[in-house]
Amino acid sequence: MAVTGARVLAEGLRFPEGPVVLPDGRLALVEIAAGRVTAVGADGTKSVIATPGGGPNGLARGPDGMLYLCNNGGFEWIEGGGVLRPHGQPPDYAGGRIERIDPASGAVTRLYDACDGRPLRGPNDLVLDGQGGMWFTDLGKVRARDRDHGSVLWAALDGSRIVEAAHPVPGGANGIGLSPDGRTLYVAETETGRLWAFDILGPGSLRKDPWPSPHGGRLLLQTPGFRRLDSLAVTAAGNICVATLVEGEITTVSPDGEVLDVLRCDERMPTNICFGGEDRRTAYVTLSSTGRLLALPWPEPGLALAG
């Protein structure tokens, strides 16, 4: 796919991710390196919604109008040549958490920081299930000589219950999304460049394939060459649009695992995509290492998200 009609909606963002369209037409997103959640207007005007600190990452709007946030606990950063990128676990890291943000006041409430006594390490991305809960990924943290395995979890929005649904995801669980019928969960594994699918049995419960699947998911796609996967969004037709790092692409994959299209971006780290605008035919893509938010027409409408 060639990029036509694309425009840079905002610049100067500190590693933006997690774009969410708000009811008033603005776009909420996180600036991981700044520890804040920011709103971007149609004219590119930026305003701060909240400053939760740590490493605000995935973001979703709930049925109560609140914003639900995966906070990865923060990164160290390398900056130079106009490029910013995360690099490992920072010295002041104090764990990951799931937070709820009141967009009117900016108040931040911690909902979860552990599951079954195990601390959350690096919550990354989330999708609401329309049944009072969220599925979310924990990417884990990377250190100089070792790294955490990733996980897929489910949690109630009211803070009452959290379940580890799939573990381990050795290359780090990152992007997550639901099929239009809500029966299939898609999970992107970063370091391996793999896209996985799970059949949902109920809140917090996934059908598991036997070994040699490392976590019970079925492999939908193994990307070729050196590609790493980040966040994803699903279209109304059920296609999965995955932000693909290193080569700098948005890869569109059918529910059967066929690559339908590839959009080349002009940087190596397009990390997130969401849909908005009329008929949800505008794609918003975060170009994170260069701090930009891109808006462009998309050939098919995005899926209306539960909220």
Q: How many domains is the chain built from?
A: 1
pLDDT at 37: 98
Using CA atoms, how far apart are residues 107 and 109, in angstroms rounded to an integer?
7
Residue 290 backbone phi and psi in degrees, to 5: -105, 5
Is residue 100 one of the residues assigned to a domain? yes
Residues counted in the chain = 307
Bridge partners of 48? 38
182 inside domain: yes
Please choose, from the candidates 130, 191, 195, the residue with its C-alpha nearest in 3D space to the C-alpha of residue 156. Answer: 130
- d(CA 67, CA 15) in angstroms, rounded, equals 19
Tell me the DSSP string of 203-243: TTEE--PPTTSSSS-EEEEE--SS-EEEEEEEBTTS-EEEE
The tokens of 186 are what? Answer: 């898609």
| DSSP 3-state of 126 | strand
Report the pLDDT value the prediction gives residue 3, as an integer from 0 to 100.
63
Domain annotation covers residue 304: no
At residue 306, the pLDDT reads 84
Token pair 């010295």 is at which residue? 91
3-state secondary structure (DSSP) of residue 262: strand
Q: What pLDDT score does 307 carry?
A: 74
Domain membership flag for residue 1: no
**29: which residues sit within 8 A by CB, 6+ positions away?**
13, 16, 17, 18, 19, 20, 37, 38, 40, 59, 272, 286, 293
Residues 115 and 121: beta-carbon distance below 8 Å: no
Question: Is residue 277 in a domain?
Answer: yes
Whichever domain contains 245, its CATH number is 2.120.10.30
Q: Tokens in use for 142?
A: 């990377």
Assess if residue 278 is contained within a domain.
yes
Q: Tell me the residue range of the domain where 213 lies.
A: 7-297
Sheet holding 240-245, edge to edge: 228-234, 240-245, 249-253, 259-264
Query: Running along the chain, 307 residues long, what does each successive block of 10 average in pLDDT?
Result: 81 98 96 98 97 98 98 98 96 97 98 98 98 98 96 98 98 98 98 98 97 98 98 98 98 98 96 95 98 97 91
pLDDT of residue 261: 97
Model pTM score:
0.97
Q: Could you give the CA distance from residue 202 to residue 174 in angstroms, rounded to a whole number?
A: 21
Q: Confirm whether 307 is domain-assigned.
A: no
d(CA 243, CA 272): 6
Q: Is residue 126 part of a domain?
A: yes
Q: Calculate the CA 217 to chain-centre distance.
A: 19
pLDDT of residue 5: 82
